[in-house]
Structure 1
Amino acid sequence: MKLFFLISCLTSVLTLPITAEELKIFELRSYVAHEGKMKALHQRFNDHTLALFEKHGMTNLVYWVPQDNEGNLLVYLLGYPNQEARADSWKAFRKDESWKAAYEASTQQGKLVESVDSIFLELTDYSPSVLTLKADSSRLYEMRRYTTNSGKLTKLDARFRDHTMELFKKHGMTNLPYFHLAEGQAGQDTTLLYFLSFENEESRDVSFKAFSKDPDWAAARDASQAEGGPILIKKGVASTLLKKTHYSPSSH
């Protein structure tokens, strides 16, 4: 009896959910749905895929669509302890009979997904917790990707760490996770990708207008570029406004 109790306790410990601190590798996946298939793709994720991801050790963090989703795009973020765990999870997921059944049922009238893009990310040392992505689902989100000139990513990080994030907060923006590309990917030494949230698009515009006029921002920007010139390449900022799907995980 005591042995059975001990085994039960050990099993419970071994199957505890992964904590945010244990997540070291993140995967940002973008799916382009075939024309007319977006609704069915959402249904498959809502009814089957998220639960199967969790079953096989993946952590669902957030699911978005662009605010103006003319491109039939779904963007989502998964977390893993490491690349080996990711490989094991995806292998088990693809072999799962429940996934095979859900896939077959959902593609009776044709495949749902036209293309898949995936990049691997690691949190910067100044990033808020990834769990901030599970906050208020009604907010407007923004994904921003900065590309620096060669050798300037460290300077960009320092500017965000020491100045920009606090100034964003000062002007009503909510800082969410900040990422670098994981090792081995093209652009890993020149890319910063991060997320912000706002009450709505109007409040976003007001916040960025106030930020851009703030003398503290001008001073920080100029000081960071006093030696060596511009940090970002020309047209080095890409931005996408996003809204959460109804099935995106919530912290509530």
Structure 2
Amino acid sequence: MSLLDGFLARALLAGLGVALVAGPLGCFIVWRRMAYFGDATAHASILGVALALALSLPVFVGALVVALAVAGGITVLTTRGLATDTALGVLAHSALAAGLVAVALLGLRVDLEVYLFGDILAVGRTDLAVIWAGALAVLALLAWRWQRLLIAVLNPDLAEASGIDARREQMALTLALAVVVAVAIKVVGALLISAMLIIPAAAARPLSATPERMAALAAALAATSAGGGVWASWTFDTPTGPTIVCAAAALFLCVTAATWRRR
């Protein structure tokens, strides 16, 4: 009997795959204050799910294409003078509403809770392959452009002086975020993806003296949240995606309380 035959083992591996990439990528989102950007991209994935199901395409493909399109639309709107928070608010809620309407108009038989809150216990072998392929691709991208991304995010003026194209690095981050959203939608759902990106990174921040340490610690905290969330969900019979996020929030509260106590 293979390890992958057990649904709990597959759920744990899926959670770990998402966690290991969400931690480091979430650090860039925290540093650049892109939390709402993550929300907008994640909400847009519901429209991608609807289109993919209607066209008989893999859900990953639909979610990725629409997430990239919305991310590109945000970039265009902000460069044309529209306030960033306004552009994010308009596209985030519009894309989510359009996705829900599309599901109804196309007459699709879809359990929306699966895509809104995730269904990690239903992850199959193909889903695992997609999740880990996407996670490894994003990790490779971050490792390849780590220094350029750091400079562009933390000090845009220095990036310009060093000849680094900050807009190109922004597009690399956008691509990475879209891929993570597309692979994570089955694990924690569109409404909770940004939580897994932000909470572990926020918890790791006060414990880290360097960006590299923060990224590694965020990945470890996210992985701990995934494992603890799957265990707690099985033990207490709770929804797995939200339980994983609750586990991450509990770690964040523990770190915050310890930091305040030390101060």
Fold-level match, TM-score > 0.5? no
Structure number with the higher strand fraction is 1
Higher RCO structure, 1 or 2 (CA under 8 Å, sep 6+): 2
Structure showing greater radius of gyration is: 1
Structure number with the higher helix fraction is 2
TM range (shorter): under 0.3
Give the TM-score of the pair, scaled to structure 2.
Answer: 0.24
